[in-house]
């Protein structure tokens, strides 16, 4: 048998992942209150039909009558009204009653809040 070497050799130090990590955040994202309010908006969009309604209104140059919205979906009037009510309650849509018809439009401030959550932050070095 060959003798076992007891000599020690110094190994090079490899940088730890913490040394190579990205720079720390320079600002807080949003407060707990802002996050809660924004989560309510996202929660209202947690249904594919509601996402389609918002998309339909986003692509419309003007507010839309409920009768025109209804034509775009294979849903009962009651089901569509339920979805519209959820979107209005969440603050994504505004509703204006004109006689027997209701007209819906997107609230730009709510859409801005949603966009702010996913907006990339410019990094200055």
- If we measure between CA atoms, which residue out of 99, 86, 103 comes closest to residue 46? 86
Tell me, what's the pLDDT at 23?
65
**Per-residue pLDDT, 97:** 96
Tell me what pLDDT residue 78 has: 95
* Distances in whole angstroms, Cα of residue 12 to Cα of each of 8, 9, 15, 50: 13, 10, 10, 58
- What pLDDT score was predicted for residue 123? 58
CATH topology assigned to domain 39-118:
Arc Repressor Mutant, subunit A (1.10.10)
- Domain spans in the chain, listed from the N-terminal domain onward: 39-118
Average pLDDT per block of 10 residues along the chain, 125 residues long: 69 64 66 86 93 94 94 94 96 95 93 81 61
DSSP H stretches of helix in the chain:
32-44, 48-58, 66-71, 77-90, 108-118
> Token pair of 45, please?
């969009």
Q: Using CA atoms, how far apart are residues 90 and 93, in angstroms rounded to an integer?
A: 8
pLDDT at site 32: 86
């Amino acid at each position: 048998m060959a003798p076992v070497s007891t000599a020690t050799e110094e190994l090079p130090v490899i940088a730890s992942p913490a040394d190579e990590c990205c720079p720390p955040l320079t600002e807080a994202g949003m407060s707990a209150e802002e996050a809660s309010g924004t989560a309510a908006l996202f929660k209202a969009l947690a249904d594919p039909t509601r996402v389609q309604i918002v998309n339909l209104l986003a692509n419309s140059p003007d507010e839309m009558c409920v009768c025109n919205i209804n034509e775009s979906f294979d849903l009962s009037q009651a089901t569509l009204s339920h979805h519209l009510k959820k979107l209005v309650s969440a603050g994504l849509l505004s509703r204006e009653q004109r006689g027997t018809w209701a007209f819906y439009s997107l609230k730009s401030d709510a859409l801005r809040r949603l966009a702010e959550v996913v907006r990339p932050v410019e990094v200055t070095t």
